[in-house]
């Protein structure tokens, strides 16, 4: 059936601020959906309160409403746009679905004659109401674990008595496993049952008999109006049941299923999808499989919408699920649509993979002091990375290299655990580093059978680990001179980094790289093509691997490199890697805009990133996408292959910035602000000297490299003192100390965690007001794009503060000082591009806290508030295509915009929620107010000192 003619205007509901359990996968899905609908000439209206994402960029939809996600906002929009025909709620995660259901219950859609498309409300109600879902599954012959629903404390106690322990408690209508827990002992049951009932919006929990140790699988499906169904991807969780899929290491395609069970699982998934309703769109189904020869299959749940895994499945297969799901929602059928990658096959074609992908979550437990770090049914990770390789081992290594946690891959970096009891404890209580601990256990000689018994991870995965260990042992018996070509090639094919191989051989990383060059062991690039190269792919989406060279009959030697280098002038944009607290989706927004601006200037654009959740890694954002770790070795090889004009590092947060020194050392041009200037701003001592030369005030400070030096400095500086390490993002390790005992403890702890770091000790300006400014500079002129005043006092990290644009309480004298300091610093640092400067204001005197000559967390917020594409302008300045005076700036904002942080403390019930110099928020929303008399501003101002901690 072709596209429906009656749908002219569609409302899309976004997912709001980033929280744990609902991150930028949904912005990726929503962005794809908007583009997909506009291709068909449909007017798009978007509501989403998140200013940090590319999804809320004015270029993405015909009408963007940055409003709170409430039914009140929905009614306002529908009154303004009486022509809206339908609402698509499946792209915005649980937030969008819950809002859609609430509006449905209030009769809002009916009142305005708006149809719900892409999902069936009855289908949602069936899948979210676990009792109804269970009844339906049993009716259609799909096995389920023994389970029952409790709507009261008493009922829950009765069920526990009947089932026995261990049990699983799941709260209804929640996302990211909120309120879910495994209960091993009766004494913990009461508290966890109460919590589940409290967190569920309908105060209902489902209690299941726990299937501990069973294997877990997810299938991503798409279905059209004609009931055609395709299975896009099968994902296997390396971690067994008991760990939330968002916190599990996952692998595609499935590795350890027999074909018979795989076919049976496919049939069950299709049967389940058809049974819950007649909707056209995406669907995610989760199964548990018994870890024995029987391979019994039990259904866990089904989500009749685009899910967290849909983004991963899209990037893993190259099949854009959200884009196609949007087309199906407006009436197309799968056989009418093209496969976006091959451009020659139909979308009814199921992807086949001739490579392996491994996803590893990224946690931020260090930000939640005192948190329970054990992984369970409630999701705790804040981001994820994906590695693509020709084998599981290569993909696993690439994923571990992408995490940016100072590891070079599995083992071979001197950072493994050596204590037997500690290793056993870490295997027993799964936490963020179990992926590494398994390798440590094998190195220590703990038998695979024992590791399997503790972790219940399938033996196939453990044997893959063991092979890597054997290879490391063999290489370690050699030197760089005696290492054979075949052994070095095998190590590279299994994903070991040059740095790891150097560690095994006791030599330098550069020596291993040189040896590879000499032996012609070079990275080659393969296409992600959805069809195992059966059809030609048109899309430039690559991953790297190693192949032995082939010698043809006529003596020609070559390796099959599918990345063809053009003779166009090229620009590489380095992405920001996995999301984490302090470096989130804002930098993805900046990278996307940087790519688009470079393309407008006539460059071929090349994106390097490893984050499967984001728009920057969409296959058609840049001219070429290398889905690779943002890790020196990978970047250097891509640059040598592509030979670009230069590399943009100032849009990808601290991740990209940290690589500037290496790029500079290897003579690779950094586009925009030079490495020397970036380094000068990071080196607190040199930067303060620059301030001194320019007569710009800053708090008294000193630099210490040992605890003794820090204690000596304390006598000069006076308490309270703010302690902070150099080269960190998100205020990592920053703390305000009020006496020598606290100072010594914190400095010793910091130097243990970040060895060889220079620590800066500032006299903390108690009670100061904090403000910040973002500006664009071309080396001659400076344009300040925005000055924000924080509602909270100085001492709470800028990412955790409510930032008000324009300032609400700063006099002309103070504003003049801010403008003057900003201009002076931007020019003194020879900034070319963006710069962010933070200020503390006390007694009408403006002090400098720090300056960052790069894109900051606040740039997207200012761009949305003032309706101006500042990253586009800044990129053109970096490329030397334009000067600041070439732009006509015309900011438009009536009243005030407030950037409001959003926290995910509810995932860590026992954590200290106080705020301080270290950032803890996971996302943000934007609030527009007409005046300072607004109640919402008054509430924020009243609470401004509530959470300040020293």
Rounded Cα gap, residues 781 and 794, in angstroms? 29
Rounded Cα gap, residues 61 and 912, in angstroms? 40
Residue 520: how many other CB atoms lie within 10 Å: 12
Name the helix (H) or strand (E) containing 470.
helix 459-475
The token pair at 33 is: 């959906």
Name residues whose C-beta falls within 8 Å of residue 455's C-beta, 6 or more positions apart in sequence: 239, 240, 427, 430, 434, 438
Helices 448-455 & 459-475 angle (0-180, nearest 10): 140
pLDDT profile of the chain (950 residues), mean per 10: 85 94 88 94 96 94 96 97 95 90 95 92 82 90 89 87 85 76 85 88 86 93 92 95 93 95 96 89 93 93 85 90 92 84 73 93 85 87 96 98 93 92 95 95 97 96 98 97 96 97 96 95 89 64 90 74 94 96 93 97 97 91 96 97 97 92 96 95 86 92 83 84 75 81 85 80 87 97 98 90 95 97 98 97 94 95 97 98 97 95 84 84 94 88 63
For residue 600, the model assigns a pLDDT of 98
Name the helix (H) or strand (E) containing 842.
strand 832-842
Dihedral sign, Cα of residue 749, residue 751, residue 755, residue 758: positive
For residue 907, the model assigns a pLDDT of 81
For residue 452, the model assigns a pLDDT of 97
Tell me how far the alpha carbon of residue 757 is from its chain's centroid: 27
- Report CA dihedral (375, 381, 387, 393) to the nearest 10 degrees: -10
Phi, psi of 391 (to 5 degrees): -140, 165
Burial of 843: CB neighbours in 10 Å, binned 0-12, 13-18, 19+: exposed
For residue 342, the model assigns a pLDDT of 59
Phi, psi of 832 (to 5 degrees): -130, 100
Residues in the chain: 950
The token pair at 439 is: 């390798």
For residue 950, the model assigns a pLDDT of 41
Tokens 């929503």 correspond to what residue?
Answer: 30
3-state secondary structure of 297: strand
For residue 64, the model assigns a pLDDT of 96
Q: Are 423 and 432 in contact (CB under 8 A)?
A: no
Residue 209: how many other CB atoms lie within 10 Å: 17
Residue 886 DSSP class: G
């Amino acid at each position: 059936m072709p596209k429906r003619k009656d749908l002219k205007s569609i409302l899309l509901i976004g997912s709001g601020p980033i929280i744990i359990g609902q991150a930028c996968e949904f912005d990726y899905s929503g962005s794809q959906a908007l583009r997909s609908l506009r291709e068909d000439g449909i007017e798009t209206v978007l509501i989403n309160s998140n200013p940090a994402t590319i999804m809320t960029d004015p270029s993405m939809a015909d009408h963007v409403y940055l409003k709170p996600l409430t039914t009140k906002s929905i009614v306002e929009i529908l009154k303004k746009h009486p022509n809206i025909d339908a609402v698509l709620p499946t792209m915005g995660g649980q937030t969008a679905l819950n809002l859609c259901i609430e509006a449905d219950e209030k009769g809002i859609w009916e009142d305005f004659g708006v149809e719900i498309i892409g999902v069936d409300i009855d289908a949602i109600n069936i899948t979210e109401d676990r009792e109804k879902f269970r009844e339906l599954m049993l009716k259609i012959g799909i096995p389920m674990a023994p389970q029952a629903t409790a709507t009261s404390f008493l009922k829950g106690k009765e069920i526990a008595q009947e089932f026995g322990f261990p049990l699983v408690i799941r709260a209804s209508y929640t996302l990211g496993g909120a309120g879910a827990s495994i209960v091993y002992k009766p004494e913990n049951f009461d508290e966890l049952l109460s919590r589940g009932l409290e967190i569920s919006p309908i105060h209902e929990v489902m209690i299941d008999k726990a299937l501990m140790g069973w294997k877990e699988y997810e299938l991503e499906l798409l279905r059209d109006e004609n009931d055609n169904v395709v299975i896009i991807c099968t994902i296997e969780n390396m971690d067994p049941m008991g760990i939330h899929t968002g916190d599990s290491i996952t692998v595609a395609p499935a590795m350890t299923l027999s074909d018979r069970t795989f076919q049976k699982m496919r049939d069950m998934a299709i049967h389940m999808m058809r049974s819950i309703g007649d909707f056209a769109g995406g669907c995610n189904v989760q199964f548990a499989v018994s870890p024995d020869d029987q391979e019994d299959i039990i259904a866990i749940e089904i989500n009749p919408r685009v899910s967290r895994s849909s983004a991963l499945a899209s990037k893993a297969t190259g099949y854009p699920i959200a884009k196609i799901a949007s087309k199906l929602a407006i009436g197309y059928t799968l056989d009418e649509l093209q496969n976006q990658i091959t451009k020659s096959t139909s979308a009814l074609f199921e992807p086949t993979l001739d490579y392996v992908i491994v996803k590893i979550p990224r946690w931020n437990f260090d930000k939640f002091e005192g948190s329970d770090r054990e992984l369970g049914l409630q999701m705790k990770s804040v981001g994820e990375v994906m590695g693509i390789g020709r084998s599981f081992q290569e993909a696993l290594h690439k994923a571990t290299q992408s995490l940016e946690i100072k590891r070079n891959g599995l083992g071979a970096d001197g950072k493994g655990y050596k204590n037997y009891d500690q290793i056993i404890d870490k295997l027993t209580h799964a936490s963020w580093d179990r992926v590494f601990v398994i390798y440590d256990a094998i190195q220590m000689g703990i038998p695979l059978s024992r590791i399997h018994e503790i972790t219940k991870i399938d033996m196939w995965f453990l044997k893959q680990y063991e092979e890597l260990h054997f290879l490391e042992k063999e290489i370690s018996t050699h030197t760089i001179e005696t290492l054979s070509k075949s052994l070095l090639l095998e190590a590279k094919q299994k994903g070991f980094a040059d740095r790891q191989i150097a560690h095994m051989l006791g030599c330098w990383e550069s020596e291993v790289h040189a040896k590879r060059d000499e032996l012609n062991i070079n990275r080659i690039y393969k296409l992600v093509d959805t069809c195992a190269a059966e059809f030609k792919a048109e899309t430039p989406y690559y991953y790297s691997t190693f192949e032995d060279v082939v010698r043809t009959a006529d003596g020609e030697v070559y390796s099959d490199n599918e990345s063809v280098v053009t003779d166009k002038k090229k620009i590489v944009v380095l992405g920001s890697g996995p999301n984490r607290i302090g470096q989130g989706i804002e930098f993805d927004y900046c990278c996307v805009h940087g790519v688009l601006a470079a393309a407008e200037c006539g460059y071929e654009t090349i994106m390097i990133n490893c984050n499967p959740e984001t728009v920057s890694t969409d296959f058609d954002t840049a001219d070429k996408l290398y889905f690779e770790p943002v890790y020196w070795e990978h970047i250097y090889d891509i640059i040598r292959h592509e030979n670009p004009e230069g590399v943009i590092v100032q849009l990808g947060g601290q991740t990209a910035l940290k690589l500037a020194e290496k790029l500079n050392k290897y003579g690779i041009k950094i586009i925009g602000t030079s490495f020397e200037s970036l380094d000068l701003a990071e080196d607190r001592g040199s930067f303060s000297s620059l301030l001194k030369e320019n007569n710009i005030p800053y708090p008294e400070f000193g630099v210490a490299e040992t605890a003794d030096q820090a204690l000596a400095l304390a006598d000069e500086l006076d308490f309270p003192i703010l302690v902070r390490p150099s080269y960190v993002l998100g205020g990592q390790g920053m703390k305000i100390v009020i006496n020598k005992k606290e100072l010594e403890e914190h400095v010793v702890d910091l130097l243990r965690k970040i060895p060889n770091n220079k620590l800066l000790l500032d006299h903390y300006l108690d009670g100061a007001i904090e403000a910040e400014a973002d500006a664009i500079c071309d080396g001659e002129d400076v344009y300040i794009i925005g000055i924000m005043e924080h509602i909270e006092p100085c001492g709470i990290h800028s990412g955790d503060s409510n930032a008000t644009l324009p300032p609400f309480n700063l006099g002309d004298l103070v504003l003049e000082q801010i403008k003057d300091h900003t201009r002076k610093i931007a020019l003194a640092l020879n900034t070319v591009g963006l710069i962010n400067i933070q200020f503390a204001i006390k007694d009408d005197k403006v002090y400098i806290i720090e300056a960052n000559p790069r894109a900051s967390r606040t740039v997207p917020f200012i761009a949305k508030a003032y309706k101006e594409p500042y990253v586009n302008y800044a990129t053109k300045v970096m490329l030397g295509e334009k000067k600041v005076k070439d732009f006509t700036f015309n900011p438009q904002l009536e009243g005030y915009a407030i950037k409001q942080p959003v926290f995910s403390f509810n995932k860590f019930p026992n954590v200290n929620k106080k705020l301080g110099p270290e950032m803890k928020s996971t996302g943000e929303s934007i609030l527009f107010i007409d005046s300072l008399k607004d109640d919402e501003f008054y509430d924020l101002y009243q609470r401004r000192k509530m959470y300040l901690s020293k």
